[in-house]
């Protein structure tokens, strides 16, 4: 017997109502598609884990898909404290933060509609003093939760803030307005984390991988990474949301199980998902294999299921989203060396050997000789890019010197392990 509904949110896909998310008196969430969305053959499901149907989806599925849009770990705890709600109540968090999330969705109270996304009428741009103050405040108040009507949310454990870029200047979007960029400041706990990501994104682009574009900026002595959102397009001053979902959401896995060691998705699961969901699976599978190899080369042990996403382009094509949250985690000894997803059975980067490539190829459904050749090609491309110098304008060279050296050494060593160099 279902319990009475306590509260509800309307789920919007850009300017259309896609469904309704409710919470009952027992604290369980439920989602049901809008009838207009169901009968429209062109309207896609909100998630691979939520195929279109008349019957409602219940708490577990809702937490995996919709709860996966919320901040994680310490960021979530801080947001919940700022809002005065439980960090274990995703409905109330979405109620407060769901105006602008990853992808095309927005979660709004009944009777409220998304604002027209017009950059000409965005919130006032921030001058240097206010931007510096925001960067100072952001670690204590993630997503500006509870401040000024901001209703913003992004998954992940790293401090970040969705913003709007207006003529090159940063502004906080109006409540419910789609953002265009993300701000990632340097955290106190992991110095030069943002610089690390800036370098990894630039290196990925330099070797021909599809990666999010990052720009290094500084204001009043405070450095930050400004990342352009790949799930937004701008045309004639209006911002349009593109839908995306990370692999954990698409596979119906909650954020607290994103690591394979905790029962979360493996690379085998990830490749199988791409083959089911992508419009051109063969192409996207090769892109994911490249991404996995690149993460090994740079020393990113934290490439879990929430760091890969499906992106639905404007024409409806589903692709592997550009790479994001690329960080060489092995520069911090206090972080776990365990791989978020085993690479060919290897639990750590140091355990990868010649046989690992054969096993990974089997997980990916690719021929082992191809994977070995691709490892050699990508390793060589990384070495060449590092030799020429990976340019991140404004980023101090001493911030990445050790990272460059470690990456070059790892690229050479990986090619040897793949058996492509003597």
228-243 residue pLDDT tens: 999 999 887 788 899 9
In a domain, 317, yes or no: yes
In a domain, 290, yes or no: yes
Cβ atoms of 323 and 209 within 8 Å: the answer is yes
45 burial type by CB count under 10 A (0-12 exposed, 13-18 middle, 19+ buried): middle
* Residues 139 and 39 reside in one and the same domain: no
- List pLDDT tens digits, range 75-103: 888 778 877 888 899 999 999 888 889 99
* Residues 349 and 304 reside in one and the same domain: yes
Question: Which pTM was predicted?
Answer: 0.93
Helix axis angle, 401-417 relative to 354-364, nearest 10°? 90
The partner residues of 183 in beta bridges, in order of sequence, read: 161, 226
Q: Of 81, 108, 135, which one is at a domain's C-terminal end? A: 108
Q: Of 170, 193, 228, which one is at a domain's C-terminal end? A: 228
Please tell me which of 28-42, 64-78, 386-400 the model is most confident about, judged by mean pLDDT: 28-42
Instruction: Name the residue range of residue 222's domain.
Output: 119-228
Rounded Cα gap, residues 232 and 103, in angstroms? 8
Within 8 A by CB and 6+ apart from 258, the residues are 248, 264, 265, 304, 305, 306, 340
CA angle 354, 355, 356 (to 5 degrees): 90
In a domain, 114, yes or no: no
SS3 (DSSP) at 134: helix
Element (H, E) at 379: helix 368-388
Please tell me which of 96-100, 185-189, 221-225 the model is most confident about, judged by mean pLDDT: 221-225
Total count of domains within the chain: 3
Helix, strand, coil % over all residues of the chain, rounded to 5: 40, 20, 40
* Residues 393 and 270 reside in one and the same domain: yes
* Residues 397 and 279 reside in one and the same domain: yes
In a domain, 113, yes or no: no
Percentage, residues of the chain above pLDDT 90: 63
CATH of the domain at 269: 1.10.1070
Element (H, E) at 284: helix 281-298
* Residues 300 and 388 reside in one and the same domain: yes
CATH of the domain at 167: 3.30.200
For the chain, how big is the Rg over CA atoms in Å? 21
Residue 41, pLDDT above cutoff 90 = yes
Active site members: 302
What pLDDT, on a 0 to 100 scale, did the predictor assign at position 106? 93
Helix axis angle, 90-97 relative to 73-83, nearest 10°? 70
Residue spans of alpha helices (H) in 214-280: 247-250, 267-277
**Residue 149: which pLDDT band, with cuts at 50, 70 and 90?**
very low
What pLDDT, on a 0 to 100 scale, did the predictor assign at position 282? 97
Residue 156, pLDDT above cutoff 60 = no
Measured between alpha carbons, how far is residue 113 from residues 116, 207, 244 in Å? 9, 43, 21
User: Nearest CA to 288 among 301, 302, 275?
Assistant: 275
CA angle 303, 322, 396 (to 5 degrees): 75
* Residues 242 and 391 reside in one and the same domain: yes
What pLDDT, on a 0 to 100 scale, did the predictor assign at position 331? 85
* Residues 359 and 256 reside in one and the same domain: yes
Residue 411, pLDDT above cutoff 50 = yes
* Residues 62 and 169 reside in one and the same domain: no
Report the range of poorest mean pLDDT among 17-26, 201-210, 331-340. Answer: 331-340
Within 8 A by CB and 6+ apart from 381, the residues are 207, 208
Residue 119, pLDDT above cutoff 70 = no
* Residues 238 and 340 reside in one and the same domain: yes
Q: Of 53, 79, 108, which one is at a domain's C-terminal end? A: 108
* Residues 179 and 240 reside in one and the same domain: no
- List pLDDT tens digits, range 332-348: 888 888 999 999 999 99
Residue 162, pLDDT above cutoff 90 = no
* Residues 79 and 101 reside in one and the same domain: yes
What pLDDT, on a 0 to 100 scale, did the predictor assign at position 147? 52
* Residues 242 and 385 reside in one and the same domain: yes
In a domain, 422, yes or no: no
């Amino acid at each position: 017997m279902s319990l009475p509904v306590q509260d509800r949110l309307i789920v919007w896909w850009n300017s259309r109502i896609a469904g309704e998310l409710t919470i009952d008196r027992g604290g369980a969430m439920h989602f049901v598609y809008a009838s207009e969305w169901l009968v429209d053959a062109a309207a896609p499901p909100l998630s691979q884990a939520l195929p279109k149907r008349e019957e409602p989806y219940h708490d577990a599925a809702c937490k995996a898909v919709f709860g996966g849009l919320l901040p994680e770990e310490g960021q979530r705890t801080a947001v919940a404290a700022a809002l005065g709600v439980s960090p274990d109540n995703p409905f109330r968090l979405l109620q407060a933060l769901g105006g602008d999330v990853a992808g095309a969705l927005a979660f709004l109270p009944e009777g409220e509609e998304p604002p027209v996304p017009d950059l000409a009428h965005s919130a006032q741009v921030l001058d240097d003093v206010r931007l510096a103050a925001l960067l100072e405040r952001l670690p204590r108040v993630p997503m500006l939760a509870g401040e000024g009507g901001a209703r913003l949310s992004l998954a992940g454990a790293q401090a970040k803030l969705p913003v709007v870029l207006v003529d090159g200047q940063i502004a906080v979007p109006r409540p419910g307005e789609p953002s265009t960029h993300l701000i990632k400041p340097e955290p106190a706990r992991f110095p030069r984390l943002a610089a690390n990501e800036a370098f990894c994104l630039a290196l990925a682009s330099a070797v021909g991988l599809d990666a999010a574009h990052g720009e290094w900026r500084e204001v009043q002595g405070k450095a930050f990474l400004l990342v352009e959102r790949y799930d937004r397009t701008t045309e004639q001053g209006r911002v349009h949301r593109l839908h995306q979902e990370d692999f954990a959401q698409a596979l119906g896995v909650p954020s607290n199980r994103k690591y394979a060691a905790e029962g979360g998705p493996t690379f085998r699961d990830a490749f199988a998902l791409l083959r089911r969901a992508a419009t051109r699976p063969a192409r996207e599978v090769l892109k994911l294999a490249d991404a996995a190899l690149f993460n090994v080369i740079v020393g990113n042990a934290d490439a879990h299921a929430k760091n890969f996403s499906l992106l639905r382009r404007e024409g409806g094509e589903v692709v592997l989203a550009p790479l994001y949250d690329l960080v060489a985690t092995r520069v911090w000894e206090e972080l776990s060396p365990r791989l978020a997803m085993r690479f060919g059975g290897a639990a750590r980067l140091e355990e990868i050997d010649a046989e690992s490539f054969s096993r990974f190829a089997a997980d990916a459904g690719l021929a082992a000789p191809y994977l070995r050749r691709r490892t050699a090609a990508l390793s060589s491309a990384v070495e060449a890019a590092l030799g020429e110098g990976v340019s991140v304008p404004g980023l101090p060279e001493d911030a990445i010197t050790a990272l460059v050296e470690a990456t070059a050494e790892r690229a050479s060593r990986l090619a040897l392990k793949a058996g492509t160099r003597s």
